[in-house]
Structure 1
Amino acid sequence: MPLNILGTILTEGTDNIPHYDTIKTALPYVLGATAIKYWSRGPSNTWERKLHGKVYIVTGATSQGMGTSVILEMARLGAQLIFLTREVDEWSTEWVEDLRERTKNELLFMEKCDLNDLWEIRKFVTSWLDNSPPRRLDGVIVMSGNMEPWGIPKFKLPKRKSSKDGLEVQMATNYVGIFHLLNLLQPSFKAQPPDRDVRIIVTTCWLQVMGDINVEDPLWQKVKYDSALKFFASSKLQLGLSMMELQRRLIESVKNDSKKNTERSGKNIAVCMVQPGTMRSQSLRRVISNGSITLLILLYCIILYPILWLFTKSGNRAAQNLLYALNTPELEEINRQDEKAKYVSDCSIVKFARKEFEDEVLQKQLFENTERDILEIEKKMAIKRNAGKPEKKKDSKKKK
């Protein structure tokens, strides 16, 4: 068809082309929109490796967006996946069964572990580590996250939502829970053989450049809740800085624990932060609609969707960055130039935007204070749980 049109133009002129004036007017806009969409979709991952026999713990897999796209590809490549979820119910069970059928991979499992509950995280990790010999673990893929509606400044302040431990829910989900999970899993990472390529991949967001760092109160327990965006951005920033310290600790610990005749470098364990880009996710819908179903339908689905489709990524396109971090040989021990954690954006390793990512003293202090405050919260919650047990026994005796 295009050749016929070009032939007609060359031999007979444009007068014989139907609707030529309309096409001439619309063509620049169509080409411009196509160029914008091609740019906004981002590059594709070009690396692939077989994952048969490899074991990964995954969070955020049930998003029906980026997370689901990532685990579908991992399952297709043969990986054994353990999905962490808040509840193992009828829906989640059917979801896993459907994945097994779609990918022809039976090694997909669901485990209950709410990242908003520090006690549940500790129970899961304790059961994971309570095994001899140590269980195989080729990596952790963290794709879970939470972004609350930002509210309308000066008119409507956002409501503070709390986790089970009393922390602001974004700080708990995006920072504290993930930090606790990966920190407790350190023995498992270090127990892997030196020839095993272990990858800890954590999603972040470009909004982290707007975040603040609260070294003395890293869980933000004493900070006034006046901006949901500030808590979100800061949770992502602090997570990234803590991952820099986690990478150093893992490498140093492996070196110190190794026998002199092995000379392990520890660089087979790679920590990588991935910025997937702006995508049409549940978080974006929640922010634009401000938590309102009416605004979701009118503003997001009808008014803004054409613009969002043009300038943002789908979940599948955003997944390309995580698949790149999972598959690229650049993170293999033999190819690594240094011992620092890496940052991936647009399917390539890039530099960090903020100077704090070069401040090792700050990262260490933030890591240690976060550990300290999490331990204090765990002690308080344990006291509360234990205080309730005798009361239940007394009540049962009275009933008898």
Structure 2
Amino acid sequence: MVCCVVTTVVAAVVVLILTVKFIYRYQSGRCTSKTRLVGKTAIVTGASAGIGKETARDLAQRGARVILACRNVEKAERIAEDIKKTTGNTDVVVRQVDTSDLTSVRKFAEDILRTETSLHILVNNAGMSGMKKRKLTADGLEVTMATNHFGHFLLTNMLLGLLKASAPSRVVTVSSGVHQFGSSLDVDDLNYEKNPFPKKMVIYSQSKLANILFTKELSEKLRGTDVTANSVHPGVVYTEIMWKNETNLFTYIFAMLVRIMGKDEKLGAQTSIYLAVSEEVNNVTGKYYADCKVGMNSV
């Protein structure tokens, strides 16, 4: 009798999980634009894995010159070769950048300005999950905020001249729906010198909120330049970022559930791709998107 009850419960749980998976993936937004990008140049940070990798692959498939801006060059080179093979586009290159290191960001941006004559799409995708304890970079910045926000803030501003000269062009910054849990963000203390260091999910949430606030302010400053700036919630996506930094039983269980029920990397990249290429958002700027439409939790 007990065995039958257990079997029934397990079966019910499996059915529930599969149902959630089907509904979530079925309702997920997909970029249907057929836009070609021949003659266009795109940069995707953090393109050696996950959403960034699939975003870069799609842009290459459309004929763009794609620059994979990654910390791990060796890993990125393998991805670049795979993208060339699967898309037939050989104009896919790797450039080293660590968004947590402002010296690295400056060097990368200076190299782009020296070697590239145009830039039409910048996808600020690189990121990391929150840290358990406050850790500073060589620049003296909290590492999560540096990686997810400060690095992209600097990179975007250094490349603005090239983006403007190449207009129409687009800046897409990958945020997250968890930004709504970062409402306690003190914009005057982004380095957590005055306030207690928050829990890892909160610091991650606050860095993602910073992405959205930056995007909205950037869009205002770019009015009339034909350069748009929008932010993205990719959805609940299973990527290797879940296994980086400190892990515990909870994060392991959560990662397994996301792997089963969440989006895969290709589906998770759809909104980033949509904002980078779709004709539907030609003049849209300063918005927060999820599943290829304006998100309900836009700030």
Inter-partner Cα distance in structure 1 for 2:255 and 2:149: 30
Q: Paired residue for 2:178, among 207, 210, 214?
A: 207
Shift of 1:130: 4.0
C-alpha offsets along residues 45-98 of structure 1, whole Å, 9 cap, x if unaligned?
2222111111011101111x2221221121111110111122434x44343233
More helix by share: 1
C-alpha offsets along residues 5-31 of structure 1, whole Å, 9 cap, x if unaligned?
xxxxxxxxxxxxxxxxxxxx9998877
Inter-partner Cα distance in structure 1 for 2:164 and 2:271: 26
1:167 and 2:105 aligned: no
Contact 1:129/1:135 (8 A) holds in 2: yes
Shift of 1:177: 0.5
| Residue 4 (structure 1) aligns with | none
Gaps of 5+ in 2: 1-8
Inter-partner Cα distance in structure 1 for 2:38 and 2:146: 34
Shift of 1:32: 5.2
Inter-partner Cα distance in structure 1 for 2:262 and 2:213: 27
C-alpha offsets along residues 364-399 of structure 1, whole Å, 9 cap, x if unaligned?
xxxxxxxxxxxxxxxxxxxxxxxxxxxxxxxxxxxx
| Residue 292 (structure 2) aligns with | 347
Shift of 1:36: 1.9
Higher RCO structure, 1 or 2 (CA under 8 Å, sep 6+)? 2
Contact 1:324/1:347 (8 A) holds in 2: yes
Output the amino acid matched with 1:145: G
| Residue 198 (structure 1) aligns with | 169
Q: Paired residue for 2:45, among 46, 59, 65?
A: 59
Contact 2:130/2:203 (8 A) holds in 1: no
Change (3 A) 1:115 1:305: closer
Inter-partner Cα distance in structure 1 for 2:175 and 2:214: 12
Output the amino acid matched with 2:67: I
Which is greater in Rg?
1
| SS in structure 2 at match of 1:174 | helix
Q: Paired residue for 1:274, among 218, 232, 250?
A: 232
| SS in structure 1 at match of 2:222 | helix
Q: Paired residue for 1:143, among 125, 128, 143?
A: 125
Inter-partner Cα distance in structure 1 for 2:179 and 2:194: 21
TM-score (norm 1): 0.65
| Residue 62 (structure 2) aligns with | 77
The number of residues matched between the two structures is: 289
Inter-partner Cα distance in structure 1 for 2:30 and 2:72: 33
Q: Paired residue for 1:234, among 191, 206, 214?
A: 206
Shift of 1:342: 1.5
Output the amino acid matched with 2:86: R
| SS in structure 2 at match of 1:218 | coil
Give the alignment's Cα RMSD to 1 decimal.
2.8
Inter-partner Cα distance in structure 2 for 1:130 and 1:305: 41
**Identity over aligned pairs, percent:** 27
| Residue 162 (structure 2) aligns with | 188
| SS in structure 2 at match of 1:185 | helix
Inter-partner Cα distance in structure 2 for 1:71 and 1:110: 11
Inter-partner Cα distance in structure 2 for 1:244 and 1:306: 34
Gaps of 5+ in 1: 1-24, 150-157, 252-264, 355-400
C-alpha offsets along residues 141-163 of structure 1, whole Å, 9 cap, x if unaligned?
111111035xxxxxxxx333322
Inter-partner Cα distance in structure 2 for 1:81 and 1:103: 12
| Residue 243 (structure 1) aligns with | 215
Shift of 1:205: 0.8
Change (3 A) 1:244 1:30: same
TM-score (norm 2): 0.85
Contact 2:177/2:297 (8 A) holds in 1: no
Inter-partner Cα distance in structure 1 for 2:104 and 2:254: 39
